[in-house]
């Protein structure tokens, strides 16, 4: 097999559980035909109730998705802008002395690891900005080129902090609880009404299909709200670009390994977090056909034997 072949891992999202919801509703419909009496005749206006609930549910889903998509668009724009600022900072630092450039390289690496590990808590990268500002005294300014580079560096640093603050807010922001709760209540009532409206092949099929779609909407709202879809992938891609630029091995938290492309023969840094010890160890592993086995062994050693390692 070609050693340079790239393999994509599996993405596991909440909405994948929709298939189980379909099976569940089909099972409920099948057995209720034998063990549950027909309620349709007892509710004369059930069709009207379904129509009203469908309108209200659709309206609330639209509001939720509008809020989520606005957040996603802002995240996408700011993530791209942040990556551009970090690239500029590193390139400019090369003109300001070897020690300063190496320091900026290490800080960008630390920042990228921290924000990739805990994407919904961008505040973990704030200390890196403070240290980068304090390290300005390490700049070498001996000629006009270095003066221009230093001025541009400070300007980009200020712009980056504004972008970082917006990202900190956007990644921690959630859809309004009241809107989500109302949407879930309306959807649940609608599923119940669809169940009560059963009676023939068409209404039975309607119950199964529409109930499954409602559950799908619940789950995909949660996936988007928790940043499991879309912009987390963009953040991973931007992080890979930064690691390659500063010539560091790509880092991935253990939970993301199945969501990224891994190249055979390439060394990766994999972060394994121990919930009990509240610390992370970073393992350097070469991707091979036995990569998963090596990662499992590393996780086992860290969890069972409490081996100390690099903490970030």
Q: What is the pLDDT of residues 198-228, one digit of tens each?
A: 877 888 888 888 989 999 888 888 888 777 7
Does residue 121 sit within a domain?
A: yes
Checking if the pLDDT of 311 tops 60, the result is no
For CA atoms 174, 175, 176, 180, the dihedral sign is: negative
Burial 36-54 (b: 16+ CB within 10 A, else e): eeeeeeeeeebeeebeebb
User: What average pLDDT does range 27-47 have in this prediction?
Assistant: 61
Does residue 312 sit within a domain?
A: no
> Among the listed ranges 12-26, 162-176, 207-221, 262-276, which one has the minimum average pLDDT value?
12-26
pLDDT at 308: 46
Residue carrying the six token digits 């990569």: 291
Percent of the chain with pLDDT over 90: 25
Does residue 292 sit within a domain?
A: no
Does residue 83 sit within a domain?
A: yes
Does residue 72 sit within a domain?
A: yes
Does residue 186 sit within a domain?
A: yes
13 burial via Cβ count (<10 Å: 0-12, 13-18, 19+)? middle
Does residue 280 sit within a domain?
A: no
- Decide which of 145 and 260 is more confident: 145
Contact 261, 7 (CB under 8 A): yes
Give the bridge partners for 270, in sequence order: 252, 283
Number of residues that make up the chain? 312
Does residue 190 sit within a domain?
A: yes
Task: Take residue 170 and report the two structure tokens written for it.
Answer: 């956007």
pLDDT at 20: 73
Q: Count structural domains, the chain.
A: 1
Contact 252, 270 (CB under 8 A): yes
Tell me what the pLDDT averaged over the chain comes to. Answer: 80
Domain, as residue range, for 240:
14-248
């Amino acid at each position: 097999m070609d050693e340079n072949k790239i393999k994509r891992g599996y993405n596991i999202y909440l909405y994948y559980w929709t298939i189980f919801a379909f099976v569940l509703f089909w099972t409920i419909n099948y057995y209720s035909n034998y063990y549950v009496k027909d309620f349709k005749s007892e509710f004369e206006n059930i069709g009207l109730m379904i129509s009203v609930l469908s309108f209200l549910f659709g309206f609330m889903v639209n509001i939720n998705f509008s809020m989520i998509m606005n957040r996603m668009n802002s995240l996408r724009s700011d993530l791209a802008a942040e990556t551009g600022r970090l690239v500029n900072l590193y390139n400019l630092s090369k003109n300001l002395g070897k020690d300063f450039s190496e320091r900026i390289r290490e800080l960008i690496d630390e920042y990228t690891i921290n924000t990739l590990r805990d994407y919904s808590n961008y505040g973990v990268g704030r200390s890196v900005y403070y240290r980068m500002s304090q390290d300005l005294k390490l700049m070498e300014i001996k000629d006009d080129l270095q003066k221009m580079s230093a001025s541009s560096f400070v300007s980009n640093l200020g712009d980056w902090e504004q972008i970082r603050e917006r990202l900190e807010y956007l990644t921690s922001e959630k859809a309004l609880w009241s809107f989500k709760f109302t949407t879930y209540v309306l959807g649940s009532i609608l599923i119940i009404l669809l169940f009560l409206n059963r009676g023939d092949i068409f209404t039975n099929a309607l119950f199964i299909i529409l109930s499954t779609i409602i559950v799908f909407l619940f789950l995909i709202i949660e996936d988007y709200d928790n940043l499991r879809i879309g912009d987390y992938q963009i953040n991973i891609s931007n992080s890979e670009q930064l690691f390659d630029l500063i010539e560091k091995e790509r880092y991935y938290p253990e939970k993301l390994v199945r969501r990224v492309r891994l190249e055979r023969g390439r060394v990766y840094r994999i972060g394994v977090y121990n919930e009990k010890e509240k610390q992370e160890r970073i393992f350097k592993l070469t991707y091979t056909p036995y990569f998963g086995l090596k990662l499992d062994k590393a996780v086992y050693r860290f969890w069972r034997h409490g081996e100390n390692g690099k903490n970030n």
